[in-house]
Amino acid sequence: MPTRSITEKVRLFTQAFNDAWTKLDNDFVTIPDQRSRAATVLRDVIERRIKGGETDAAAIAEGATEEVRSNFGIGRASIK
């Protein structure tokens, strides 16, 4: 696994977080009191995936989005 610079890790994190939060934002309109907690969970999931060696921001965002939805009991069927 190649070592990535801090700049690259920050870029990867920022892109993945923004992509994932764009997808999750509408999910938390109905439960606004959980937005802060959801953002924290999302941050932790993305950090774990980057530390695990994932390098594709889109894949990180997709996986993190599904993991956060699962943690909060938000299923695909309930999302409009």
Q: Where are the domains of the chain?
A: 16-78
Helix axes 35-51, 6-25, angle to 10 degrees: 140
For residue 80, pLDDT beyond 60: no
| d(C-alpha 39, C-alpha 20), whole Å | 10
User: How do residues 34-79 score in pLDDT, each as one tens digit?
Assistant: 999 999 999 999 999 999 999 999 999 999 999 999 999 887 554 4
| d(C-alpha 53, C-alpha 48), whole Å | 9
Entry pTM: 0.84
